[in-house]
Structure 1
Amino acid sequence: MGIFGFFILAAAGYFLYRNYFTTNTYETKDERYNAARAQRQKELDGLLDKINRRGMSSLSERERQRLDELSGK
C-alpha cells in the first residue's frame, strides 16, 4: 500500500468520522412533531404580535390566509 492507498484510507476515515460520529441527527417522530409545532406556534405568535402592534388591516392577504391556517379555521 503506497502513499495513494494511505490517502484513500484517510479520506474514508474522515468521511465516516464526520458523518456518523459527530452528527447526531437521530430524531424520533415526537421530536419532529414537536419541532414543527414549535415553528408553527412561533409563526402564529409573530402574526398576532403584528396585529397587536398595527391592527388587523396591516396583514397582507397571504398573512391573513396563513393566520387562518395556523389558527385552525
Structure 2
Amino acid sequence: MGLFGILIVASILTYIFRDRLFSRNLETKDDKYNAARKERMEEMDRLLDKINSRGIDSLTPGEKRRLDELSGKK
C-alpha cells in the first residue's frame, strides 16, 4: 500500500469525520438573539404568573425592577 495509500486513506477519513475533527460553532447571531429573547420571555412569564397567582405585592423589589426592565419601561 505504501505511503501514498496511507495518505489517501487518511484524507478520506479526514473528509468523512471533518465535522467532529474541526468542530465548528454553527450558532448564528440570529440563534443567539432568539435564545436570549426566549430566556427573557420565560423570565417575564414567570414573574407575571407570580403576580397572577399571589398579587403584585408578592414581588420583591428586585423582581419589580427586573419586570420593568423586561417590559421596556427602563
Q: One fold, TM greater than 0.5? A: yes
- TM-score, structure 1 length as denominator? 0.68
Structure 1 moving runs of 4+ over 4 Å: none
Instruction: Give, in whole Å, the separation in 2 of the partners of 1:40 and 1:30.
Output: 15
Question: In the alignment, which residue of structure 2 is the partner of 1:70?
Answer: 70
Instruction: Give, in whole Å, the separation in 1 of the partners of 2:62 and 2:20.
Output: 42
Q: Which has the larger radius of gyration?
A: 2
| Structure 1 position 24, deviation (Å) | 6.3
Q: How does 1:1-73 map to 2 (within 5 A)?
A: 21=20, 25-73=25-73
Q: Which runs of 5+ in 2 are unaligned?
A: 1-16
- TM-score, structure 2 length as denominator? 0.67
| Structure 1 position 60, deviation (Å) | 0.1
Higher RCO structure (Cα 8 Å, ≥6 apart): 1
Once the two structures are superposed, what CA deviation does each residue of 1:9-35 show, in whole Å capped at 9, x if it has no partner?
A: xxxxxxxx8xx6186642000000000
Q: Which runs of 5+ in 1 are unaligned?
A: 1-16
- What RMSD, in angstroms, separates the aligned Cα atoms of the two structures? 2.0
Q: Which amino acid aligns with 2:69?
A: E
Identity of aligned residues (%): 56
